[in-house]
Amino acid sequence: MSSSSMLRRRIGWGASSLMAAVAMVGWGTAAASVPQSYVALQVPAPAGGFVVGTSTEVHASVLGTGMPFLPNMQVTFTDNGTCFDSMYPLNVDESDVRATWTPTTPGIHTLTVTQGGGSATQTVTVAAAPAGTKVPTPSTPGCGGSGSAGSGSFGS
């Protein structure tokens, strides 16, 4: 192979690599800001209403990526500002991510889901647990930054 052929091939590889890098940076920039209106939250009341110690599944509609673990795509659920779960959606389009929330104190709770620059909130009132009920200790699974992979697709 001649040196000019090798030079052209190396230039071609370099150009291809540069184009791929530019495309990834552009894609990452486009995904950096999730529109406020795209993030939605539903907190359905369990049978008997919201009561300390009674779990419910919190649903959020968020933007999926198809590429997990992009920091700006992490979905975080909080209760009065304290994280109770976080994950990365794996679907390419809209994703329905779910987290289990168990209130540990009575009163007003503002639940928030955040992804990138978007967030949605819902406020609920939690009743005290009946006398003699064991109240769970609060936990923060997946809130240390690594999270767990979200699953499911919207509407499933």
**Alpha-carbon distance 104 to 84, whole Å?**
11
Whole-Å CA distances, 51 to 78, 82, 108: 18, 18, 11
Task: Give residue 66's identity as a one-letter amino acid code.
Answer: G
Task: Assess whether pLDDT exceeds 90 at residue 41.
Answer: yes
Beta-carbon contacts of 17 under 8 Å, excluding residues fewer than 6 positions away, are none
Task: Assess whether pLDDT exceeds 80 at residue 129.
Answer: yes
The conformation of residue 84, written as its DSSP 8-state character, comes to: E
Is 154 within a domain? no
Is 19 within a domain? yes
The conformation of residue 16, written as its DSSP 8-state character, comes to: H
CA atoms within 13 A on the CB side of 64: 17
What confidence score (pLDDT) does residue 97 get? 87
Q: Are residues 23 and 40 in the same domain?
A: no
What confidence score (pLDDT) does residue 72 get? 65
Q: Are residues 19 and 61 in the same domain?
A: no
Is the entire prediction scored with pTM above 0.85? no
Task: Assess whether pLDDT exceeds 60 at residue 154.
Answer: no
Residue 136 tokens, joined: 């769970």
What confidence score (pLDDT) does residue 79 get? 95
Choice between 140 and 138, residue whose per-residue pLDDT is larger: 138
**Alpha-carbon distance 117 to 34, whole Å?**
5
**Alpha-carbon distance 7 to 10, whole Å?**
5
Task: Assess whether pLDDT exceeds 90 at residue 52.
Answer: yes
33 band by pLDDT with thresholds 50, 70 and 90 = low
What confidence score (pLDDT) does residue 155 get? 37
What confidence score (pLDDT) does residue 73 get? 79
Q: Are residues 145 and 111 in the same domain?
A: yes
Q: Are residues 50 and 83 in the same domain?
A: yes
Whole-Å CA distances, 12 to 2, 3, 6, 23: 15, 14, 10, 16
φ/ψ of 11, rounded to 5, equals -65, -40
Is 155 within a domain? no
Q: Are residues 57 and 2 in the same domain?
A: no
Task: Assess whether pLDDT exceeds 90 at residue 80.
Answer: yes
Choice between 133 and 23, residue whose per-residue pLDDT is larger: 133
Mean pLDDT value of segment 129-156: 59
Beta-carbon contacts of 33 under 8 Å, excluding residues fewer than 6 positions away, are 72, 116, 117, 118
Range of the domain at 43: 36-149
Total of domains in the chain: 2
Is 42 within a domain? yes
